[in-house]
Amino acid sequence: MISIRSWSTLSALGGSDAAVLASYQSVESSLDPWSVPHLEQLVDTWAGRLSKDAQQQCTDLIATHPKYAGLDPSVLYALITARSAFKQAGWDSKSPVGINIGSSRGATQLWESAHAAHLKNRRIPSLTSPLTTLGNLSTWVAQDLGVEGPEFSHSITCSTSLHSLLNAVAWMRAGMVERFLVGGTEAALTPFTWAQMKALKLVSSLNEPYPCRALDPLKKANTMVLGEGAGALCLEVGVRPGAQAVILGVGYATESLAHAISISDEADCFVRSMHMALGVHDPGQIDAVVMHAPGTVKGDRSENAALDVVFGSRDSLTAPWRTSQKWRTGHTFGASGALGLECALLMLKHQHLAGIPYLGQSVWRPAPVKKVLVNAVGFGGNAVSVLLGLPE
């Protein structure tokens, strides 16, 4: 058995456990207006920017080390969440700890800044290469925590965080290490990233309190909103006192590449990943599913279709509760799976279901919650599903 000892996140919801819980109990979205520099003009849109307390944590971190001022925000987010999760787990640097912190896009802000300098002056800062490689996420975390063990970073687009957990489970089941710190980080609120999503016609054009309409079956257009954030979780072999949850199953699948996004109408990758994660567990005993649900028409519809295959329609008495945190946080790409895990962990810990107000639901409703499934998928059709349960 593998347990989740602790977790920590930074996002639009806040930079502390209390702030995040308060956000889940509120009917308000945490998305803010954002004026994006684009083609020599400003374009008004929405974004899930770090809350003010989370931004202050970044400022405070930079002041603690002269080298931290030169790091990309994605690395800073990883350092803050890793420190917090590590401390909450009660770990020390004497025992080996594996580290797998991933990101869809990595050091986006630093890379774009260096590229702009290169185009203008044909010169770039001397440390551009080591500071923009994806691997520096986990290596900086390892240096900061002073731990030894396997450390690696990766990008598997928007399922990166859940792939981090998947990797750790494989290492731990193989007996190679007993502790692993996993998660994802993303600081991709940049004009070029926004332009990429705009070119795909995914960005929300709504001007209302809920610009991301994740899981809204009545939406006529895509309503994805970009977000930033990070999440780190400490995993350990066995169920120790204070464990937050246990990992009951993991699943993964990839669809045959048909186009750039590669998600079929039936989301076959989700059907297979969910079946694998469920294993011997009765689908009728799953209390909730934290869906990937990015707020796009096809993405939400296809994942719902996959859940109908695995669990039966939403009208079934045995169907699990379906929810998503993206209407609050925006889509944080490589960090989104970690925020989805946080949503599941909060529901398990507090015995409440997270709802969506524009669907006529209570945003924080008391209910028995014993098992929660978390989904994520990214460009390329690479789905991961993780089944969490309460410790016995």
Task: Write the pLDDT tens digit of every residue in 120-156.
Answer: 999 898 889 989 999 999 999 999 999 999 999 999 9
2-389 maps to CATH 1.20.120.80: no
Query: Is-contact 382 273, C-beta < 8 A?
Result: no
Please give the mean pLDDT across all residues of the chain. Answer: 95
User: Residue 249: is its pLDDT beyond 90?
Assistant: yes
Mean pLDDT of 216-241: 96
Report the share of the chain in percent with pLDDT over 70. Answer: 98
Nearest to 246 by CA among 95, 390, 66: 390
pLDDT at 392: 81
pLDDT at 260: 59
- Picking from 110-119, 231-240, 279-288, 347-356, which range would have the lowest pLDDT averaged per residue? 110-119
Mean pLDDT of 203-227: 97
pLDDT at 276: 98
Mean pLDDT of 335-350: 98
User: Residue 262: is its pLDDT beyond 70?
Assistant: no
User: Residue 259: is its pLDDT beyond 70?
Assistant: no
Whole-angstrom CA distances from 268 to 39, 139, 164, 175, 241 are 39, 35, 22, 32, 38
Report the share of the chain in percent with pLDDT over 90. Answer: 87
User: Residue 314: is its pLDDT beyond 90?
Assistant: no
- Position with higher pLDDT, 94 vs 354: 354
The CB-based long-range contact list for 55-58 (8 Å cut-off, 24+ gap) reads: 55/15, 56/15, 57/10, 57/15
Nearest to 364 by CA among 378, 374, 350: 350
Predicted confidence band of residue 235 (pLDDT cuts 50, 70, 90) = very high
The per-residue pLDDT for range 353-381, each reduced to its tens digit, is 999 999 999 999 999 999 999 999 998 88
Mean pLDDT of 113-126: 90
The per-residue pLDDT for range 186-211, each reduced to its tens digit, is 999 999 999 999 999 999 999 999 99
Predicted confidence band of residue 256 (pLDDT cuts 50, 70, 90) = confident
User: Residue 25: is its pLDDT beyond 90?
Assistant: yes
pLDDT at 369: 98
Residues 381, 159: Cα–Cα separation, whole Å? 9
User: Residue 345: is its pLDDT beyond 90?
Assistant: yes
Predicted confidence band of residue 266 (pLDDT cuts 50, 70, 90) = confident
User: Residue 318: is its pLDDT beyond 80?
Assistant: no
User: What does the angle CA 337 – CA 297 – CA 229 come to, to the nearest 5 degrees?
Assistant: 25
pLDDT at 370: 98
